[in-house]
Amino acid sequence: MGDAQLISRFDALLSDLDGVVYAGPHAIPGAVESLLRLSGIGVGLGYVTNNASRTPAQVAAHLRELGAPAEDHQVVSSSQAAAELLASLLPAGAAVLITGSPALAHEIELVGLKPVHGAEDKPVAVVQGFNPGIGWKDLAEASYVVAGGALWVATNTDMSIPQARGIAPGNGTLVAAVAAATRQTPLVAGKPEAPLFHAAAKRLSAERPLVVGDRLDTDILGGNKAGFATVAVLTGVDTLETILAARTDERPGYIINNLTELYEPYPDVESDDGTYRCGDATASVDSNGIRVRGDKSSLDSWRAACAAWWAAHPHAAEPTAPELEWLDQ
């Protein structure tokens, strides 16, 4: 086991927000303090968000209200990633139809493209991002332009968005409406695609970033696609059981309970003839599932179990949940 803190292996932390830094209106215990410690050890900090309806400045202001370190430039949104993607594919001044918020239009403007709002302005591209005010006419306008052969970029494709009253349709459902009408598929800038993570790393001049998130299907998958190290934190959506069962592309490199554990040594997992050891725990796979010798409440037991199961199933295209047999140590 190395004695160095986990975070010392990296030069920047690319952090998700909801489920990592805060849950609803409140900061997650220990999160703000952990983020504040990064500057003291020379590790950069960036926030990556799929929310395209708020400007990075608005997101940063919210983080500062919670006590977290956040300058506007440290927040990288899917709107910015979409704008950078479009700017790399289009000539300067090209007209882009905005199917989304004023914040999205502003990002398009900042990269030297021209935001327009109707097919009569002859846009060569469509950018689609979440805006609760979007209606049928907006989706129809996007469909006309996309069907006409324009480049189509979506900020993100989250199918749902949590609201105070429950789960509501996210940008992905609105993108799906245009896709169904046109039989076209957009390029996607936000999680779980790589552009958002690459944009954040580039902004921080990071060569060895660590992506931290609570969701396998957006944060961890996106970080993996970007070629970065990933750590799953257990303060949000995914659980030890779902992480163990994860398909190959969504498996994190590290698992921690909360952000404070970034400052603790991370144990190595060693294998010996099919038995995987992490700390005092061991795990091995047999025809019935996984036999784990260790404390069920210890992360080391789950780290060993993940290592054993993933080694036995290196190419899992779908989640596969094994039976777990817990043995006394």
Helices (H), 237-285: 240-244
CA 115 – CA 288 distance, rounded (Å): 58
Residue 176 CA: distances (Å) to CA of 124, 188, 193: 20, 12, 17
Beta bridge mates, 26: 23
Q: For residue 45, what are the contacts with CB-CB under 8 A and spacing of at least 6?
A: 12, 13, 15, 35, 38, 39, 69, 74, 204
- The candidate with the shortest Cα–Cα distance to 18, out of 7, 6, 31, 35, is 31
Assess contact for 285 and 258: CB atoms under 8 A. no
CB atoms within 10 A of CB 136: 8
Both tokens of residue 99? 């199917």
CA 81 – CA 52 distance, rounded (Å): 10
Task: Please tell me whether residue 188 adopts helix, strand or coil conformation.
Answer: strand
Choose, from 16, 138, 219, 300, the residue flagged as catalytic.
Answer: 16
Q: Is 18 a catalytic residue?
A: yes
Choose, from 3, 18, 158, 249, the residue flagged as catalytic.
Answer: 18
Catalytic residues: 16, 18
